[in-house]
C-alpha cells in the first residue's frame, strides 16, 4: 500500500485477477471507511491504454497512481485494478484505476479480463469516467467504440444494474466547441446502445434508465498544461458532495454500506471470475446478510464479555438484584443501538431480520439470569409470606382473613419484583413462576391450616382427656347404681364445654358447615372414646377391684376399723354382703352405659347365675339349671358396648371366689381361736361331776385350813408361770409347736422365779416398806408381763408377800 499527502492507494486486483484481501482490509482500516456508512462514493475510470487515465486521476483527485513515462514510449503502466482515496473531497470518495483496454501486452484475443474489469467497475462504481480521444468522436472505427460496446454488453449481465453516471472525458480537445461534439457523442452512444443485444425485459428500456450520461472536455496535458489543470480543478468541484441530490451520483441505487464494501467487492469479483451472471439485488442482500451477521456476532460476543453484564450475571446467582430489569435493559439496548448504528445502511429486510436474531440470541442468553432473579423473588416472597402470615396469626387475626390479606400483599410484592426484573420488550411470561408461587403459598396455608387445626384439636382432646380420665376412674372405682348416670352427666358437661370452645376456635377458619360439623362430631366421639377407653382399662383390672372391695368390706367394720373376729361377728352374713358388693362392681363394669336409654338387667342376670344358682346347687345337686352366662354376648347389648363377656364374668367370679376363700377361712379360724381363748370354764357336766366326786376332798379342806393356804400358794405360782410362759399364745400356732416351745422355756422360767423369790425372802419386810414396794415392782416387771390383768399382779404380789413372811413365823 502506497501513501502520499492526504491519499493512500493499494492494488485491489492484480494483473492475474487475484483479489487482494489483505491489502483492501488494511486500506479500509487506514482510510476509516467503515465509519462512513452510506456517505461515500466510488469513481472508476476506463479507457484505452496510455490515454492518460492515471494522470487525469492524479490531478483530479490528488491520488498517486503510477503514470506512463513518455520518454520511455507507450506501454502498459497500470496492471489490474488499483484503488485509492481522493484527497480533500467530501464525502469520502474512492477511485479505481482500471487497466487500459486494447493493450498490446494482452493481445487482441485476450479480452476476458477487459470485460471482467468493466463489469466489476459498473457493479461497484457510482461514477464511471470513460477516457477517450477527441479525434475518435464521429469515427466508426474509433478506439472508443469497442469500449462502449464492452460496457453495454457487460451491463446486460446485471439483473438489476445500479443507476451509474457515465462521464465521457474528451481528451486533447480541438478547437471544435464542446456544444458541437457532445450531440455527436451522444448519438454514437445511442447507436451503440441500440445495437447491443438486450434481454427481453429490457428490449424497450431507454439508456437513461441505466445511465446518466455526462460529457466534459479537457485540453491537452502536454501542450496546454496550465489550461488542462484549470479545467481539471473546475471538474474536481463537481465531485464534492457528488452523492447529494442533484450531484453527479445523486440518484444512485443499491448502495452497499461502507463497512461491507470490502466483502461486497470480493464477492462480486468472485462471481465475475466464475463467469456467472451477477445478480446485484441478490448480491446486495448477500452482502447485507454477511455483514449484518458479522456485526450481530460481534455485538453478541461483546455483550458476553461486557463487564456490567458479567457483574449482573454473577450477582443473580447469590440473590435478587434490585433494578435488574432496568440495568439489563440499558445494557441490552445499548448493544442493539450499536448494531443499528453499524448496520443501518444495509438492506432493511436483512438488517431487521438479523437484528431480530441478535435480539433473540441476547434474550436467550440473559433469560437464565432473569429466571434466577424470578426464582429469588419467588423464594423471597414466599419467605415474606410465611413471616407476615405467622405474625398475623400470632397477633390474633383470624386464619382465613390472615391468609387472604397476606396472600394479596405478597402477590402484589411478587408482581412488583417481576416488574423490576423484566427486560423491556422481552415479552417473557412470568405467569408460570407466579402460579408456582401461588401454589407454594396455598400449600403453606394448607399445611399451617392442618397444623393449626391439629393443634387446636389436640388441645381440646387433651383437655377432655384430663377432665374425664380421672373422674371416670374414680367413679368406676366406687361402682354403684349411680355410677353410669354420673359418668353420663360428666361426659355431657365436659363435651358441651369442649365443643363450645372448639367451635369458637374454628370460627376463624373459612370452612363449610359440613366440615365444621364433622370436626365437632369428632370431638364428641373423642370424648366418648376417652370414657370407653378408661372403662375398658378399668374392666381389665376388675378382678383386682373386686378383691379390694371384698377385702375392704370383709376386713373392716362400718367405721372402717379392722374387724376382730369375735363370736359376735356373723361371718356368713359379712361374706355375703362383701361378695354382693363385688358382684355389684362387676355388673357395673361389664358394659358401657353412655346413652340415657341404656337400661339392662345384667346385675340380675349375674346375681341369678352366680349367687342364686350356686345356692340352689348346694341345696340340690341333682337339679340341672340353665346357665345364662354360657354366651359370648349380653342380651340386647351390642358388642361395641361390651367390656366383659358373660363367659368372662363367670370365669372372673370363679377366680374371685377362689382367691377370697382363704380370707373367709382365716376369719373363721380366728373366730374359733377367739372363742377358745375366752372360754376357760369346763363344761357344766364336768363342774357337776367335780362337785359330786370331790365333795369329800372339799370337806377335808374346810376342816383343815392349812391345805387352803398351800393350794392358794400353788395357784399363785401356776398363775405366774402361765403369764410368763404365755401358754395361750404358744398354743395358737398348734399343739405340737406349743409343747416344744414350752418345754424349752419351762425350766429356765421356774429357776428364775425361784431365784427371785429367794432374793425377796432374804430382805426383812419391816425394815424398809418403800424398798419392799420397789423390789416387788421390779420383781414383777422381770417375772410377770406388765400386760397381765390386775388380778394377776395382785396374785403375784400376794405370793411374794406370803413367801417373805413365812421365815419370820418359823423363826
Query: What are the binding residues for GTP?
Result: 47-54
Task: Tell me how far apart the alpha carbons of residues 589 and 484 are, in angstroms, rounded to a whole number.
Answer: 10
Q: Which residues are annotated as a binding site?
A: 47-54
| Three-class DSSP labels, 363-375 | HHHHHHHHHHHHH
Backbone angles phi, psi at 642, to 5 degrees: -75, 130
Quick one: DSSP state of residue 610?
I
Q: Are strands 164-171 and 2-4 parallel, antiparallel or unpaired?
A: unpaired
- For residue 295, the Cα-to-chain-centroid distance in whole angstroms is 45
Strands laid side by side in the 211-217 sheet: 2-4, 7-13, 81-85, 92-98, 40-46, 127-133, 164-171, 211-217
Task: Tell me how far apart the alpha carbons of residues 726 and 724 are, in angstroms, rounded to a whole number.
Answer: 6
- Does the bond joining 169 to the residue before it have cis omega, within 30 degrees of 0? no
DSSP bridge partners of 169? 131, 216
> C-alpha grid cell for residue 357?
436474531
> C-alpha grid cell for residue 741?
416351745
* Residue for grid cell 422481552: 426
Burial (Cβ within 10 Å: 0-12, 13-18, ≥19) of residue 632: exposed
CA distances from 33 to 22, 239, 241, 540 (A): 15, 18, 16, 107
To the nearest 10°, the Cα dihedral for 287, 288, 294, 295?
A: 150
- Cα dihedral 441, 447, 450, 456 sign: negative
Task: Tell me how far apart the alpha carbons of residues 718 and 749 are, in angstroms, rounded to a whole number.
Answer: 12
Amino acid at each position: 500500500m502506497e501513501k502520499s499527502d492526504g491519499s493512500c492507494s493499494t492494488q485491489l486486483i492484480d494483473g492475474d485477477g487475484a483479489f487482494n484481501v489483505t491489502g483492501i482490509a488494511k486500506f479500509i482500516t487506514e482510510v476509516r471507511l467503515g465509519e462512513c456508512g452510506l456517505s461515500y462514493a466510488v469513481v472508476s475510470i476506463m479507457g484505452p491504454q496510455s490515454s492518460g487515465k492515471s494522470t487525469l486521476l492524479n490531478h483530479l483527485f490528488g491520488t498517486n497512481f503510477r503514470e506512463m513515462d513518455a520518454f520511455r514510449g507507450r506501454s502498459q503502466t497500470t496492471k489490474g485494478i488499483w484503488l485509492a482515496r481522493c484527497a480533500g473531497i467530501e464525502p469520502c470518495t474512492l477511485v479505481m484505476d482500471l487497466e487500459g483496454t486494447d493493450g498490446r501486452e494482452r493481445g487482441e484475443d485476450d479480452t476476458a479480463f477487459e470485460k471482467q474489469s468493466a463489469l466489476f467497475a459498473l457493479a461497484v462504481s457510482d461514477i464511471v469516467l470513460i477516457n477517450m480521444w477527441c479525434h475518435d468522436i464521429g469515427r466508426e472505427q474509433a478506439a472508443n467504440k469497442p469500449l462502449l460496446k464492452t460496457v453495454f454488453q457487460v451491463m446486460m449481465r446485471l439483473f438489476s444494474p445500479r443507476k451509474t453516471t457515465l462521464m465521457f472525458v474528451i481528451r486533447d480537445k480541438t478547437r471544435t466547441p464542446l456544444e458541437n461534439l457532445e450531440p455527436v457523442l451522444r448519438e454514437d452512444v445511442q447507436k451503440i446502445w441500440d445495437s447491443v443485444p438486450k434481454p427481453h425485459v429490457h428490449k424497450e428500456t431507454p439508456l437513461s434508465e441505466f445511465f446518466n450520461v455526462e460529457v466534459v472536455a479537457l485540453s491537452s496535458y502536454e501542450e496546454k498544461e496550465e489550461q488542462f489543470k484549470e479545467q481539471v480543478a473546475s471538474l474536481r468541484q463537481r465531485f464534492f458532495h457528488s452523492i447529494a441530490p442533484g450531484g453527479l451520483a445523486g440518484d444512485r441505487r443499491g448502495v452497499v454500506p461502507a463497512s461491507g464494501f470490502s466483502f461486497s467487492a470480493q464477492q462480486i469479483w468472485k462471481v465475475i471470475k466464475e463467469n456467472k451472471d451477477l445478480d446485484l439485488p441478490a448480491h446486495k442482500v448477500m452482502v447485507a446478510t454477511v455483514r449484518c451477521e458479522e456485526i450481530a456476532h460481534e455485538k453478541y460476543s461483546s455483550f458476553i464479555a461486557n463487564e456490567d453484564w458479567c457483574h449482573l450475571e454473577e450477582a443473580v446467582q447469590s440473590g435478587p438484584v434490585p433494578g435488574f430489569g432496568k440495568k439489563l435493559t440499558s445494557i441490552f439496548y445499548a448493544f442493539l443501538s450499536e448494531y443499528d448504528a453499524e448496520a443501518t445502511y444495509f438492506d432493511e429486510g436483512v438488517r431487521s431480520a438479523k437484528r431480530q436474531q441478535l435480539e433473540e440470541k441476547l434474550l436467550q442468553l440473559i433469560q437464565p439470569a432473569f429466571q434466577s432473579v424470578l426464582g429469588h423473588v419467588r423464594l423471597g416472597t414466599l419467605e415474606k409470606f410465611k413471616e407476615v402470615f405467622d405474625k398475623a396469626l400470632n397477633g390474633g387475626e383470624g386464619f382465613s382473613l390472615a391468609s387472604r390479606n397476606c396472600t394479596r400483599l405478597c402477590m402484589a410484592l411478587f408482581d412488583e419484583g417481576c416488574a423490576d426484573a423484566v427486560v423491556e420488550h422481552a415479552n417473557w411470561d412470568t405467569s408460570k413462576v407466579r402460579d408456582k408461587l401461588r401454589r407454594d403459598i396455598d400449600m403453606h396455608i394448607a399445611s399451617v391450616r392442618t397444623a393449626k387445626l391439629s393443634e387446636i384439636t389436640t388441645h381440646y382432646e387433651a383437655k377432655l382427656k384430663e377432665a374425664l380420665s380421672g373422674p371416670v376412674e374414680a367413679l368406676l372405682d366406687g361402682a354403684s347404681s349411680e355410677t353410669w348416670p354420673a359418668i353420663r352427666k360428666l361426659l355431657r358437661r365436659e363435651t358441651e364445654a369442649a365443643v363450645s370452645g372448639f367451635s369458637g376456635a374454628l370460627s376463624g377458619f373459612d370452612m363449610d358447615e359440613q366440615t365444621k360439623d364433622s370436626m365437632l362430631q369428632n370431638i364428641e366421639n373423642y370424648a366418648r372414646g376417652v370414657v370407653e377407653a378408661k372403662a375398658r382399662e378399668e374392666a381389665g383390672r376388675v378382678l383386682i377391684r373386686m378383691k379390694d372391695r371384698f377385702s375392704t368390706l370383709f376386713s373392716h367394720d362400718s367405721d372402717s376399723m379392722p374387724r376382730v373376729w369375735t363370736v359376735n361377728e356373723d361371718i356368713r352374713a359379712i361374706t355375703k354382703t362383701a361378695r354382693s358388693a363385688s358382684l355389684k362392681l362387676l355388673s357395673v363394669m361389664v358394659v358401657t352405659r353412655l346413652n340415657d336409654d341404656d337400661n339392662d338387667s345384667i346385675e340380675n342376670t349375674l346375681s341369678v347365675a352366680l349367687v342364686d344358682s350356686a345356692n340352689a346347687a348346694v341345696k340340690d345337686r341333682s337339679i340341672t339349671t340353665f346357665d345364662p352366662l354360657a354366651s359370648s354376648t349380653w342380651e340386647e347389648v351390642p358388642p361395641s358396648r361390651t367390656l366383659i363377656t358373660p363367659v368372662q364374668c363367670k370365669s372372673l367370679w370363679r377366680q374371685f371366689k377362689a382367691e377370697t376363700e382363704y380370707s373367709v377361712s382365716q376369719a373363721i379360724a380366728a373366730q374359733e381361736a377367739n372363742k377358745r381363748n375366752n372360754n376357760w370354764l369346763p363344761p357344766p357336766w364336768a363342774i357337776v361331776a367335780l362337785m359330786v366326786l370331790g365333795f369329800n376332798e372339799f370337806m377335808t379342806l374346810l376342816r383343815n385350813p392349812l391345805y387352803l393356804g398351800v393350794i392358794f400358794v400353788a395357784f399363785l405360782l401356776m398363775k405366774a408361770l402361765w403369764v410368763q410362759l404365755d401358754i395361750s399364745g404358744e398354743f395358737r400356732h398348734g399343739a405340737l409347736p406349743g409343747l416344744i416351745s414350752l418345754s424349752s422355756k419351762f425350766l429356765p422360767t421356774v429357776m428364775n422365779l425361784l431365784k427371785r423369790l429367794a432374793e425377796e425372802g432374804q430382805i426383812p419386810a419391816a425394815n424398809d416398806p418403800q424398798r419392799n414396794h420397789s423390789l416387788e415392782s421390779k420383781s414383777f416387771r422381770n417375772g410377770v408381763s406388765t400386760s397381765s390383768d390386775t388380778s394377776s399382779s395382785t396374785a403375784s404380789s400376794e405370793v411374794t408377800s406370803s413367801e417373805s413372811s413365812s421365815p419370820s413365823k418359823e423363826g
